[in-house]
């Protein structure tokens, strides 16, 4: 897939010419965290994540501090498929914020359906009724 063009402005980024979020996005949330010198590589787990058949979605569940983020960042650097990275923030409890960031992360690895932007403009329960199915369809399309 082609990558969207990214225009950087300070600490925010905007994808163009496709997805146009309704608010400025924090650029750092789309970047893999840098490994620390003391980071332990989890070769066995990386091997499992890279083994066939590969799942279109990955979930790693463990208590805080067990290295989930660094494991997935290490995996993402080795993965041959496109990976959309999004660091979750404190305002992601707001569905509009979370879904907008998710759409922008997907748009970075390939243009998303313009209908998603229109769905994200909906308010209240209409947002969930329109944007979530549109994003699910987009993920299914990319399988």
Longest dimension (CA), the chain: 46
What residues form DSSP beta bridges with 12? Answer: 9, 26
**How much is the average pLDDT of 54-66?**
84
Integer Cα distance of 74 and 68 in angstroms: 10
Q: Is the peptide bond before 53 cis (omega within 30 degrees of 0)?
A: yes
pLDDT at position 17, please?
Answer: 53
Mean pLDDT of the chain: 83
Give me the helix-helix angle, 95-109 and 125-141, nearest 10°. Answer: 20
Integer Cα distance of 9 and 75 in angstroms: 29
User: Is 35 within 8 Å of 128 (Cβ atoms)?
Assistant: no
How many other C-beta atoms lie within 10 A of the C-beta of residue 48? 10
Share of residues in the chain with pLDDT > 70 (%): 88
**How much is the average pLDDT of 81-90?**
89
For the cut 70, the answer to whether the pLDDT of residue 138 exceeds it is yes
**How much is the average pLDDT of 80-93?**
89
- Residue 49 structure tokens: 């994540």
pLDDT at position 20, please?
Answer: 87
Integer Cα distance of 60 and 111 in angstroms: 27
């Amino acid at each position: 897939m082609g990558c969207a063009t990214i225009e950087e402005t300070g600490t925010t980024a905007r994808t163009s010419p496709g997805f146009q979020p309704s608010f400025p996005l924090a650029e750092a949330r789309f970047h893999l965290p840098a490994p620390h010198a003391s980071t332990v590589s989890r070769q066995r787990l990386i091997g499992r994540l890279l083994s066939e058949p590969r799942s279109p979605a990955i979930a790693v569940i463990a208590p805080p501090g067990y290295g989930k983020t660094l494991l997935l960042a290490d995996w993402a650097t080795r993965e041959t498929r496109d990976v959309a990275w999004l660091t979750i923030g404190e305002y992601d409890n707001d569905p509009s914020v979370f879904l907008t960031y998710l759409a922008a992360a997907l748009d970075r690895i390939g243009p998303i359906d313009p209908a998603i932007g229109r769905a994200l403009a909906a308010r209240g329960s209409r947002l969930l009724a329109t944007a979530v199915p549109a994003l699910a369809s987009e993920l299914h399309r990319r399988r």
